[in-house]
Amino acid sequence: MYRRERSRGGAVLEVSQFKGDTQPLLQALYRIYYSISRCIEEPPNLPMREFAFQLWGSESYVRHISFDTYSDLIEYLSSKAPRHAYYSIALYELPEAGSMEEKNWLGSDLLFDIDLDHVEACFEDSVRMESGEILIGDGCLLEGYRLAQKLSAMIRRDLKPDKVTIYYTGHRGFHLRVICERCRSLDRGARRQIAQYFAGESVEPTLIFPPASGGRRKTAPAIPGEEEPGWRGWVAPYIKAEAPGARSLVEAYGKRWPDEIRRLISSAAVPIDTMVTQDPTRLTRLFGSLNGKGSFLVYDATETFRPGPHLSPFKGDIDALFKSDLPPLKIMGVTVQGRRGEGQSLPAHIAVHLATKGVVEPVRGEVVVRASSCGRPLQGRYRPSRRL
């Protein structure tokens, strides 16, 4: 079905043997990837985590799975080659138990979700296909990463956690996994307050900018400094940019200063899915796995991130037929466009992504599945696509 490619550290799959049947092709590529990959990261406290997987051809999830060792996890991935792979942010005494009561919850990490579907800057750098599928461009991903870095800085300054990890989800978003020992026992209500705080919801300006007492008279709230904690510090640079030299909020904005501060809080806040953060039983994607919605790697982007072919283990070229029109869009370093029925030769990472989204049908070509790039940029460039 495929051959080993020792000189390239991977394996080669011939596309034509699937005769345009996309799902078996994708399933075969995933199976090869998981059988040779060295990219899967072991979750901390692995025996205490619940795992969940969605297999190919099924809409449901296989849940309540646990692994005693990392090798057990790798063996499962190699044999099942799941479309999606998750583990719990929660720690359990018996993670394989079928109910929460039996699992015996021991605490949870914090998880923040930035979904680029809801980022205004992405509206012009995305395409909604006839099927309802949304494709996003590289500019949207870079804006999402900027927001993730901003949120990471807010979390590190205000929560002072043990560790914050930013990761690209392999599709159209970023997650932040926060390890915070003193936060692990927080219930849903406390987590909801944390989520609302960082989302800038229900932040009352008159409480975070109280007037200072000066004898019998109250003075107007002073302009905050950027070094101040909490929302005072986060909106300070916005005020400084809009009203340089002002000494008080009244001097800067007049009597409408509370409304102006609400506007600035909205500008400084990061649009997160608060439902994700407040749920202590949430699942998070396994680092190094493939996201079955886009076929890109779930990648640790804490230090750096840039879109490109390195975020896919699939290399080479694939001849593909477009199943629907696609206006020009830059995806992972390649500007792609096509019309229904048109044939093109595409870099494999683009063809596999578009096939996963139902935009193209792979016809022929060879795919090299890399074993160990793990999202790190590789040397060399991919030539532009050519028409068939």
DSSP per-residue string spanning 44-87: TTGGG--EEEE-TT-SS-EEEE--SSHHHHHHHHHHH--SEEEE
| CB 299 within 8 Å of CB 53 | no
- Does residue 138 carry a catalytic annotation? no
Question: Which entry of 109, 113, 138, 300 is annotated as an active-site residue?
Answer: 113
Which residue is associated with the tokens 């619940």? Answer: 50
Instruction: In whole angstroms, give the CA distance from residue 20 to residue 320.
Output: 9
Question: Which entry of 109, 125, 273, 300 is annotated as an active-site residue?
Answer: 273
- Does residue 273 carry a catalytic annotation? yes
Question: Which entry of 115, 125, 138, 317 is annotated as an active-site residue?
Answer: 115
Two tokens at 382?
């991919």
Which amino acid is present at 222?
Answer: A
Instruction: In whole angstroms, give the CA distance from residue 71 to residue 79.
Output: 12
- Does residue 300 carry a catalytic annotation? no
C-alpha pair distances (Å), 380 with each of 4, 119, 345, 356: 21, 32, 18, 25
Crossing angle of the two packed helices 188-199 and 138-158, in degrees rounded to 10: 120
Pairing, β 110-115 against β 213-214: unpaired
Crossing angle of the two packed helices 257-268 and 230-242, in degrees rounded to 10: 110
| Active-site amino acid positions | 113, 115, 273
